[in-house]
Amino acid sequence: MTSDDVVLSVQDLHVSYGVIRALKGISFEVRRGEIVTLIGANGAGKSTTLRAISRLVPFQQGSIVFEGVDLRNVSPHEVTAMGIAHVPEGRGIFANLTVQENLKLATWGKKNPREIQQAYDRVFSLFPRLAERRNQLAGTLSGGEQQMLAVGRALMRGGRLMLLDEPSMGLAPVLVREIFEVLREINAAGTTILLVEQNARQALKLAHRGYVLETGTIALSGTSQELMDNPRVKEAYLGG
């Protein structure tokens, strides 16, 4: 592995919300083509890590380097423009826009109509449901459809790195499986993925490697298999 393959490198990252220290110096990296998962209890700092990468929250110390570019002084919309797509916790769809408008907005700054059309085609072939509902207000979609839309928007941006924050939350079991299936397809088509999940079993099944976050620090790391075999992980995150 050469360092070229490292898409994202996070070193000694510290983030605080006022007095609450959410991240106390974490380091990890993501290589091209990988699916890496962050697992950990509630409030461990998983979402905070993703938000720091997208520059939605300021970080006090440490560095985040994406494809060789330090993100310290980059603003969130520029991060997106650089090729990081973020599916935020709670989906963050624009309820007052239609499905189509939600997708269209994600092409902000893109000029090439052919490229945009290709992106639409890809999203609609992955999620035929969204094509059916394209003129519906996104706020009236069901939870699973909203999650599809959130992932669909990230695909419209067409990033090289996709950050996903608990895509399976609140979804019916069928949909959970569908979403994970789509993630596998996206990854196979060449997108690197950093996945945050509560559903550790499924996440580890999908991912190549994983990190375990505990109260703002990295407690464990390894390949998915290693983690799944680890008794501590089994006990705390896989439900015995």
Partner 1 sequence: MPLLRIRGLTHFFGGLRAVHDFNLDQEPGELIGIIGPNGAGKTTVFNLITGVYRPTEGEIFFNGHNLVGKRPDQIVSLGIARTFQTIRLFKNLSVLDNVRIAHFARTRYEVPAAMFRMPNYLREEAEVRERALELLDLMGLADQAEWVASSLPYGLQRRLEIARALACEPRLLLLDEPAAGMNPGEIAELMELIRWIRQQFDLTIILIEHQMRVVMGICERIKVLDFGETIAEGTPAEIQSNPRVIEAYLGEEAI
Partner 2 sequence: MQGLIQQVLNALQLGSVYALIALGYTMVYGIITLINFAHGDIFMVSTYVAFFVGTAVISRALHLPGIVVFILTMLATMFATALLAVLIERFAYKPLRQAPRVSAVITALGVGLFLENFTLATIGPDPRFLPKFFPVVTFTWSGVAFSNIQIIIIAVSAVVMLLLDTIVRRTMVGMAMRAVSWDKFTAPLMGVPVDRIISITFALGASIAAIGGMLFGMVYTIDPYMGIRIGWWAFISAVVGGIGNIRGAMLGGFILGFVEIFTPVILPASTYRDFVAFSLLLVLLVFRPYGILGRPVAQKV
Ligand X SMILES: Nc1ncnc2c1ncn2[C@@H]1O[C@H](COP(=O)(O)OP(=O)(O)OP(=O)(O)O)[C@@H](O)[C@H]1O
> Tokens 């609140």 — which residue?
170
What is the edge-to-edge ordering of all strands in the sheet holding 209-214? 84-87, 161-165, 192-197, 35-40, 209-214, 217-223
Among 2, 114, 135, 173, binds partner 1 (CB under 8 A): 173
Site for partner 1 in 208-227 (CB under 8 A): none
Query: HSE of 133 in the Cβ direction (CA atoms, 13 Å)?
Result: 22
Q: Which is nearer to partner 1, 192 or 199 (CB)?
A: 199
The Cα 79–Cα 92 span in angstroms is 17
- Residue 234 CB partners (closer than 8 Å, separation 6+): 228, 240
CB of 56 to partner 2, least distance (A): 6
Q: Verify binding: residue 143, partner 1, rule CB under 8 A.
A: yes
Q: Verify binding: residue 143, ligand X, rule CB under 6 A.
A: yes
Q: Verify binding: residue 22, ligand X, rule CB under 6 A.
A: yes
> Tokens 């620090």 — which residue?
217
CB of 170 to Mg ion, least distance (A): 8
Instruction: Select from 24, 39, 30 the least CA-distant residue to 236.
Output: 39
Q: Which is nearer to Mg ion, 158 or 210 (CB)?
A: 210
Asked if 195 and 183 count as a contact pair (C-beta separation under 8 A), the reply is yes
CB of 170 to ligand X, least distance (A): 6
Q: Verify binding: residue 165, partner 1, rule CB under 8 A.
A: no
CB of 210 to partner 2, least distance (A): 24
Q: Which residues bind partner 2 (CB under 8 A)?
A: 54, 56, 75-77, 79-81, 85-86, 88, 92-97, 101, 104-106, 108-109, 139, 153, 157
Q: Residue 101: name its binding partner from partner 2, ligand X, partner 1, none (Cβ under 5 to 8 Å by kind).
A: partner 2
Q: Verify binding: residue 20, ligand X, rule CB under 6 A.
A: yes
* DSSP 8-state assignment for residue 192: E
Q: Verify binding: residue 199, Mg ion, rule CB under 5 A.
A: no
Q: Verify binding: residue 237, partner 1, rule CB under 8 A.
A: yes
Q: Which is nearer to ligand X, 29 or 89 (CB)?
A: 89
Q: Which is nearer to partner 1, 107 or 224 (CB)?
A: 224
Q: Which is nearer to ligand X, 120 or 237 (CB)?
A: 237
What backbone torsions phi and psi does residue 43 show, to the nearest 5 degrees?
75, 10
Query: HSE of 121 in the Cβ direction (CA atoms, 13 Å)?
Result: 6
Beta bridge partners of 173: none
Site for Mg ion in 61-90 (CB under 5 A): 89
Q: Verify binding: residue 46, ligand X, rule CB under 6 A.
A: yes
The Cα 200–Cα 93 span in angstroms is 25
What backbone torsions phi and psi does residue 78 show, to the nearest 5 degrees?
-75, -35
